[in-house]
Amino acid sequence: MRKVAIIGCGMSKFGEHWDSSFRELVVEAGLKAIQDANISGEKIDAGFVGTMASGSFIGQEHIGALIADYMGLNPVPITRVEGACASGGLALRQGFMAVASGLHDIVVVGGIEKMTDLDGNMVTDVLGGAGDQEWELFLGATFPGIYALMAKRHMHEFGTTEEMMASVAVKNHKHGSKNKYAQYQNEITIDTVLNSKMVADPLKVFDCSPVSDGAAAVVLAPLELAHSFTKKPVEILASAQASDTIALHSRESLTGLKATRIAADKAYKMAGVGPSDIDLVELHDCFTIAEIMAIEDLGFFKKGEGGKAALEGRTAINGEIAVNTSGGLKSCGHPVGATGIKQAVEVTWQLRGDAVGRQVKDAKIGMTHNVGGSGATAVIHLFGKRS
């Protein structure tokens, strides 16, 4: 198996794009990545794009062909990948395997979602399809409600407080305020979170990631060829994926995601590293409790100590482990198909030393953690700095 590197990356600003179409956003991100990689379209062998629900959100299917057409890449094969909110991470994994196997040399991987064209209730229904539609969504269990159940159980078992969850949002907004691509670039306080409107007890508006539009892209190549395109390639050290039950009521536990733990263990073993070796992680904070559970499941803190670690500032840029330097889903935004690729773009910028205003000092190894549904799919990638 060949070693694989990211040689280029790019993204659109995340947010509410009333004047930009789905295809315009993905072309913007894709062209930025191709230009960053110093290649022409003729060198691209294949592409993969993650998008969860383009048919429901904008009425457009056959996304691979659309992108190949509007990117001027025909007849390059572009394949759509879907895994709910983990669609971007899964697309990156497909691209990684295509290059690592030797099937292709230069592969472009993107993620895209245009969500704000629908009203909030319709978006909630579409996203609910990422869970067990028959036993959850049909009976009224939306994702805020499902994660609220996780939060309540975590609070009951470990003494996690609403202030601890609020501190996650505060930290991510602070990081996002330094990211020009973030949907929300304003700092907030714990009181802001605690006094915001209740969504599903104990989760409030500021505990929840927003509805977003946006796209992101990376270009992959064999590591042995990477320096012919860029002076600062970033190696993908590991790629791992795991599954769990799609319905929350069938899980072993409500206070963590088994798929995350299994995928992380696989990734650590593949790269020959452990949690203490990771300098930064872009993880899936669809709700503040999700970040607390993730930093535990990924091995950065013991189970039950994630909330305290967040409140004490141990997950800030200058803390023990820098978590969501982009602002995460909470502040940077969450156009679901694009999130997993945005995470890889942020880690690439960090390892290159290009994360202006939010740079993690001497960052050498980074991680991304992308989740589908309430934890039925988890995708982990590890990245290493290459001089």
Q: Which residues are catalytic?
A: 85, 334
What distance in Å separates the CA atoms of residue 119 and residue 4, rounded to the nearest whole number? 40
Q: What are phi and psi of 219, to 5 degrees?
A: -115, 130
What distance in Å separates the CA atoms of residue 227 and residue 210, rounded to the nearest whole number? 38
Closest CA to 285 of 118, 125, 170, 140: 170
Q: What are phi and psi of 369, to 5 degrees?
A: -140, 110
Token pair belonging to 350: 């960090």
* Element at 238 (helix H, strand E): strand 234-243
CA angle, residues 80, 85, 86, in degrees to nearest 5: 65
Are 194 and 162 contacting, i.e. CB atoms less than 8 angstroms apart? yes
Cβ-based neighbour number of residue 190 at 10 Å:
17
What distance in Å separates the CA atoms of residue 279 and residue 258, rounded to the nearest whole number? 23
